[in-house]
Structure 1
């Protein structure tokens, strides 16, 4: 059984994919795996130095396969494991091995009931992406997410890989420009009728003045105009400034991913 088949079976059963987007993209391109174990029961893999993502086939659960695989991984030196969706079975398995929660990634959801109003920060132009903006977006992203373990690693090659995906729509990528310089961006995404605030990045030197709120609202208005009425986003559970912005816009928690670590 392939990884893709195993992941599809788990997704159908759980309502949440066992692998994140970066892993899924890398799977299609045979990415650089640190761990790669697949059989009829379970799989575990990690992209580069990312935490392990582990999945057990729904037909083989509660038979010890997941526990045995997790034990082998811990014995081999692995220390971090994602639980996408914070599923009850995964939580029980983690607790049984004395793992502790070290990070929470929230999925927030907004049901749009009317066209969002887009504020206009003073001295800033909000406009659609142009090809000449690519390097500037990568630079702003690096500054905005300097301490973020995944998003902060996006380089130009990763940016290009992401926009080569079928869902990419250049009309849904917006930049904020001040005095000829890109100081922020909002990348939207839409798949299967669900929109996503994919990435909102603001240069640290441009914080304040409502730029993040304006960029978010501009992307939401684009999704509304495209007929999207349900919008998701991912945000760190301890990112209080971002949570405040999204709560004001009406987002509420819909799901969560949890990172478990060896104590």
Structure 2
């Protein structure tokens, strides 16, 4: 049993690896989640790259994910590239088992340190990452541009596995 097995999982969902066939759905979720969305082509390219790992959360018998996480592994380190949950699935705790499964997979692949960036003020994401033990290690002022044109800091976070 891993440390992450201690978290309660919502019922009626499964976490499965993602392939390039999920790219359009991921682009739609990403577009509903971020001011600077990634295209279907960008997701196809990422999912086809060696070292990129993607996991999706699927509700019930759904064939399309309701959320996802993508990471890039280089040697014994990984960077979480993006995490997003569809608007109609937010606030239900689905990101917890999604990130749990993803971090377990990274650990199985001999990753020792995981890095990510998160927009300052994204309280749900910060709470999720802190719940898993991520610690703030840096700050990039004005890194993200919001939809209204204002700029906000990116917080860099690290987790040792």
Same fold (TM over 0.5): yes
Equivalence for 1:143: 32
Shift of the alpha carbon at 1:166? 4.5
Q: CA deviation at 1:132?
A: 2.8
* Runs of 4 or more consecutive aligned structure 1 residues displaced over 4 Å after TM superposition: none
- Could you say which residue in structure 2 is the equivalent of 1:116? 4
- TM-score normalised by L of structure 1: 0.48
When residues 251 and 236 of structure 1 are mapped into structure 2, their CA distance, relative to the original with a 3 A threshold, is: same
> C-alpha distance in 1, partners of 2:14/2:133?
25
| Distance (Å, rounded) in 1 between the aligned partners of 2:4 and 2:41 | 33
1:124/1:166 CA distance change after superposition, 3 Å: closer
Residue 209 of structure 1, aligned match among 92, 98, 117: 92
- Cα shift at 1:119: 4.6
2:80 matched to which residue of 1?
197
Q: SS of the residue aligned with 1:182?
A: coil
CA-to-aligned-CA distance 1:36-86 (integer Å, 9 cap, x gap): xxxxxxxxxxxxxxxxxxxxxxxxxxxxxxxxxxxxxxxxxxxxxxxxxxx
Partner of 1:250: 133
Greater share of strand = 2
The structure having more radius of gyration, on CA atoms, is 1
Higher fraction of helix: 1
Q: What is aligned with 1:174?
A: 55
Structure 1 position 164, deviation (Å): 4.8
Give ranges in structure 2 of 5+ residues lacking alignment: 144-149, 151-161
Q: How many residue pairs are counted as aligned between the two chains? A: 140
Where relative contact order (Cα < 8 A, 6+ residues apart) is larger, the structure is: 1
Determine the C-alpha separation between the residues in 1 that align with 2:66 and 2:78. 24
Aligned partner of 2:42 among 143, 158, 163? 158
Q: Deviations over 1:144-181 (max 9, x none)?
A: 22xx3x3x2x111222333454433xxx2111112414
Measure, in 1, the Cα distance between the counterparts of 2:48 and 2:21. 17
Residues 101-122 of structure 1 deviation map (CA, whole Å, 9 limit, x = unaligned): xxxxxxxxxxxxx653265322
Instruction: Give the alignment's Cα RMSD to 1 decimal.
Output: 2.2
Among residues 212, 220, 233, which one is paired with 2:103 in the alignment? 220
Alignment of 1:132 with 2:21, yes or no, is yes
In the alignment, structure 1 segments of 5+ residues that lack a partner are: 1-113
User: How far apart in 2 are the matches of 1:217 and 1:230?
Assistant: 15
